[in-house]
Amino acid sequence: MKRYLGHKKILRIYIDTLDKYNGNPLFEEILKEVKNEQLAGATVFKAVAGVGAFTEMRSFKVWALAQELPLVIEIIDDEEKIRNFIEHIDTMIDNGLVTITNTEVIKYKHENFNKEANE
């Protein structure tokens, strides 16, 4: 089954794997806030390489125990929820980049999804 959900906003938060908030990984703390604020959901993408604002190249190295790699947290929801969420997490992010873009959302859901989940 396919359902058109309409115009939404994409919030992308660009941070690093080693960024912390209250001693915990920043991306995990942001995901907790996504759940607490009841946003539609979030996905974290881990990059294998990147060049940041300070023109430092970061890439995956097999021998390194701690890797500072780029992360992107992507959230899709209504504009009001996205803007409120940015205000909510503002103090959590020391270094990073946040972008907001327009998108259209189409949701796909298998017809038997609820039946299979209840079995």
Percent of the chain with pLDDT over 90: 64
Helices marked H in the chain? 26-36, 79-89, 113-118
Structurally, the chain folds into a number of domains equal to 1
Residue 63 has a pLDDT of 46
**Is the model more confident about 99 or about 66?**
99
Give the model confidence (pLDDT) of 22-78 as tens digits. Answer: 999 999 999 999 999 999 999 999 988 777 665 565 555 544 455 778 899 999 999
**61-67 contact pairs (CB < 8 A, 24+):** 66/18, 67/17, 67/18
pLDDT of residue 78: 97
For residues 99 and 12, the answer to whether their CB atoms sit within 8 Å is yes
At residue 2, the pLDDT reads 85
Please give the residue range of the domain that contains residue 112.
Answer: 2-118
CATH number, domain containing residue 48? 3.30.70.120
Q: How confident is the model at residue 111 (pLDDT cuts 50, 70, 90)?
A: confident
**Distance between CA 26 and CA 44 in Å, rounded?**
11
What distance in Å separates the CA atoms of residue 82 and residue 23, rounded to the nearest whole number? 25
Mean pLDDT of the chain, nearest integer: 87
